[in-house]
Structure 1
Amino acid sequence: MTETYEGLTQLGQAARPADRPEDAVLERVPAPAQGLDYVVRFTAPEFTSLCPMTGQPDFAHIVIDYIPGEWLVESKSLKLFLTSFRNHGAFHEGCTMMIAGRLTDLLAPRWLRIGAYWYPRGGIPIDVFWQSAAPPAGVFLPDQGVPTYRGRG
């Protein structure tokens, strides 16, 4: 492993998700093209958490887009962080904003947005969107590609 990746505790190691997202370790690596605006996208189409009231599972398709500053999130640590929500009870908005907050705190990205497309609970889908600011001018920013829930109609 090169010096760039020294100190990573999960990449290349056997690692299990934390029991709680608050305990999950998110790691970062230096961005290779600092000073350039490019978008990094992570898609988690099988995100799960628990309803804090009933304990029933909730499911979402989450898309995270960001423009790095000095750092990239290390993808295995992100996967383990997202998996740590499986036994976490929180409303959709809380899960979405916790993910956005942890990534923003870790990376200090030039720009970040999250789209959380939650499957219906009680017959009503809840989608949660957040971005840190307007994206920089001229950056290629594709649509997140997740249609809103339509049901069978």
Structure 2
Amino acid sequence: MPSEPSKDLIALDDPYPERDYEVRCTTPELTCVCPVTGQPDFATVEIAYIPDRQIVELKSLKLYLWSYRDEPVHHEAVTNRILDDLVASIAPKQATVETRWLVRGGITTVVTARHRAQAALD
């Protein structure tokens, strides 16, 4: 597997599809570029999900998050895009992506996006 940024999230078979359990991945290394100022933005991202039939391969997740490094994107957009891409890749029963952005102009921003599969709602 390459060690360069990639938008490809690799799905693996869930080793315990008969059980609901939570997977939580956290890193303080999410970076992107402010589309207004061109300055770098830094965040801690926490991804939590309950798998259905697949889980995300962790190195692909690391390379995926790295792919935002030079991308001009708003905090709200990157948070929701991470959730959308995770859901498209592994179709979890539930997922939450939370980004906690370092202070910019005296304001700390926290963005939380949630997904719940229709079957989990029934």
TM-score, normalising length: structure 2: 0.91
Tell me which stretches of 4 or more aligned residues in structure 1 moved more than 3 Å. Answer: none
The one of 97, 101, 117 aligned to 2:80: 97
Instruction: Pick 1 or 2: higher relative contact order, CA cutoff 8 A, min separation 6.
Output: 2
Shift of 1:108: 0.6
CA distance in 2, matches of 1:26, 1:132: 17
Cα RMSD between the aligned structures? Answer: 1.4
Where do 5+ consecutive residues of structure 1 fail to align? 1-9, 19-23, 137-153
Q: Within 5 A, what are the aligned runs for 1:65-80? A: 65-80=48-63
Aligned equivalents of 1:36, 1:64: Cα separation in 2: 19
Matches within 5 A, 1:1-153: 10=1, 14-18=2-6, 24-133=7-116
Identity of aligned residues (%): 41
SS of the residue aligned with 1:119? strand
Distance in structure 1 (CA, Å) of the matches to 2:48 and 2:80: 14
**Structure of higher CA gyration radius:** 1
> Which structure has the highest strand share of the two?
2
Count of residue correspondences: 118
**Equivalent-residue separation in structure 1 for 2:84 and 2:116 (angstroms):** 14
Unaligned regions of 5+ residues in structure 2, if any? none
